[in-house]
Every structure is written in C-alpha cells, then in structure tokens.
Amino acid sequence: MRRTAFGIALSLALSFGAASAQTPQTIRTQDVSVRAVTVASGLENPWGFAFLPDGRILVTERPGAMRVVDKGKVSPPLGNVPKVFDSGQGGLLDVTLDPEFARNRVVYFTYAEPGEGGAGTALASAVFNETSLSDVKVLFRQQPKMSGGLHFGSRVVVGPDGKLWLGLGERYRRDESQNLNSHLGKVIRLEKDGRVPADNPFVGRSDARPEIWSYGHRNIQGMARHPQTGIVWLNEHGAQGGDEVNIPERGKNYGWPVITHGIDYSGAKIGIGTSAPGMEQPLLHWTPSIAPAGMAFYTGDRIAAWRGNLFVGSLKFRTLHRVVLDGTRVVKQERIELGDNIRDVRDGPDGFLYVATDDPRGRIIRLEPAN
C-alpha cells in the first residue's frame, strides 16, 4: 500500500469529505463498489485542480477565480489572477504544478484571454504565494484571437521531456485545424519559459508556427501522461459523435475536419469520411458523443481493480468513463453513473481517484472503496 508522508498528509487534509453534509453516494461498478465522498462544495464551475504537497487542492473556477481547498474549506479568490474572457466556454481553465513546486512554488495555468480580435487561449506561469499569485508571466498566446465563446480547449501538462504540452481548440473554425500558420486546433509544445524547443517538428518552416507539435484537432478537453511510458495522451470533442482519444505524435495530422467519425449537428456529413492517407486514426472514439472532459490514469492502490485504467469525465451523460487498456489496445469500457457532469479527473497522491463537477455549485469528489 502506497502510504507516503505526502499521502498521509493528503488523507488528513481531506478528512472533511467523510463528514460532509452531503451523504456519500455508494456506486456499484462492474468490478468494485465505491463511495463518492464530497471533499469540497460551492465551487463555481470548477475547471481544473491540482494537489499541493501539503494535501490542499488548488482549483480554478471558470468565471475567473483560483482558490485553495483546505480540509473542506474553500478560500477566498487568490489575488493577481489575470482577467479572463468569461463567456460561453471561455474563462479560467486548467492548472498544474511544476515538478519542482516544493522548491520554486511555480504553477502553470490556462485561460481565455481577451484582446484585439476577440479572445484566445493563453498559458501563464506564476508563483503561488498562499493568498495570491506573483511573477505572473504569459508564456504563450494563441494566434489569431477570434470572436465567439466556443472551443478554447484547454489542458496543460508537463511532459516526460520537461516541456509544457498544451491542447487547444479550433475556436469553432474548422479549417483552422489544418492551417499550420494558426495555433487553432493544435497541440503546442514549449520550454517552461515559453521558448520554442529546437526539436519541435515545424521549426524553421516559413509556412508553420514553430510552437506546433501536432495538428488536425477539434477541441482538446483532456490530457494526461501515461504512468509507465510518460507519453502524453489526449481527448477531444467531435461534433455529433466522433469524440476521440489520441496519442499526439511529432508532426502528425489527426484529421479534423477532413476525416471524422462524427457528423454535423445538422445531420450533414463532415469531410470526406473516416480515413485518409497521411491522417491518423484515433486510439478510441465515441459515437454518440460523450462530450469528454478531464482525464487521468489511475495509479493508486486503494481501488486495485482500477489500477492502470484510463478515466474520462463526461459533460453530457453525468458519467465517468472507465477504459481498461492493454498497452494501447482498449480491452473494455465501463460507464459509471455519478449523477453530475464531470469536468476534471485527477489521480490523487493518496491512492484515491478525484473528480470535479461542472456546475455553478460544483464539487470535488473523492472515489474510494465502499468497504
């Protein structure tokens, strides 16, 4: 059993969940019964969260606040968070910690940034100072900015190479996903200070943005590192059907909108079909759409039957989707009914699985064995 000092601290810090005013829900799944324990409530559309080394949780709320959850209590908003474009799907989005956070206190976060032409997804770093952020630096701005409030993405992870990996939406401009002179519908790979890595696939090309790692994506809503290989996986929304899980490879084209397993909301066909030369097939796709959101690989030992599985939140069916894998082959899937739309999923360092619900009175929920 993985009972590190960190894990013990987190269990104690989140002990409020067991005493929450909301009675824990018991859920019977294919292999195990689990309890859904509310760790924090009253969050306004929580979007992303990360575990601090002392067991507290840093959480973003889409309207623009970043808060800390400590023993079930939710802090006032942190100071010095940049202004966000809070409209439609825009707002304050993902957050993650630098691997050296215990030493440098650095966090990375994404948000819809207002500006000339509309808004675009931005990535920033900052130093976490308990009640505020300091030394806020914008590392990346999606270009071009667009009007409207759809398809900002975005998730950010620190990759196995120490680089920042950022998943972006195409801002509901389909053809931009295939345009290498645009950041829309792309995976971006950066150094931690925002510089472009010399080994990015399009460095030196006059017809492409050097930050791009892969392209042909629609609206990336989940990213996670595989626990054994360290490789970054992602999920993205299709239109009506065709939600995908992909493993973004260097310089590869993932097809949108030329190929897709979905159709338009009007019922019309999109593109030329489901495959084409030079375009990658998804590892997994869902039709009908589940509207995938945050995702995580479960590495804990508290729910042994789930170890190594991929979990994806659904913004449509109030479910958590469990994907059992053998390498990159999907063995089986399970839909776990939670009763809330799930915005984010995180592998807790205490051995449990955590989710955040997408609601004006959103919650963070811990999933633990029922007995």
User: Which residues form the catalytic set?
Assistant: 151
Scan for tokens 């950066």, then name that residue.
Answer: 190
Q: Which amino acid is at 333?
A: Q
Task: Retrieve residue 3's tokens.
Answer: 């009972």
Task: Retrieve residue 152's tokens.
Answer: 């900002």
The answer to whether the CB of 157 falls within 8 A of the CB of 223 is: yes
DSSP label at 194? S
Scan for tokens 């959103």, then name that residue.
Answer: 362
CA angle 283, 243, 142 (to 5 degrees): 100
Scan for tokens 């950010």, then name that residue.
Answer: 156
Scan for tokens 């360290």, then name that residue.
Answer: 230
Scan for tokens 């575990």, then name that residue.
Answer: 51
- Report in angstroms the alpha-carbon separations of 271 from 104, 252, 304: 47, 18, 43
CA pair distance 371, 227, nearest whole angstrom: 27
CA pair distance 74, 220, nearest whole angstrom: 28
- Report in angstroms the alpha-carbon separations of 333 from 19, 46, 179, 309, 342: 32, 26, 34, 10, 17
CA pair distance 340, 348, nearest whole angstrom: 20
Sorted by sequence, the CB contacts under 8 Å of residue 177 that are 6+ apart come out as: 170, 184, 185, 186, 215, 216, 217, 218, 256, 257
The answer to whether the CB of 104 falls within 8 A of the CB of 119 is: no
User: Given the DSSP bridges, would you call strands 292-297 and 284-286 parallel, antiparallel or unpaired?
Assistant: unpaired
CA pair distance 363, 17, nearest whole angstrom: 11
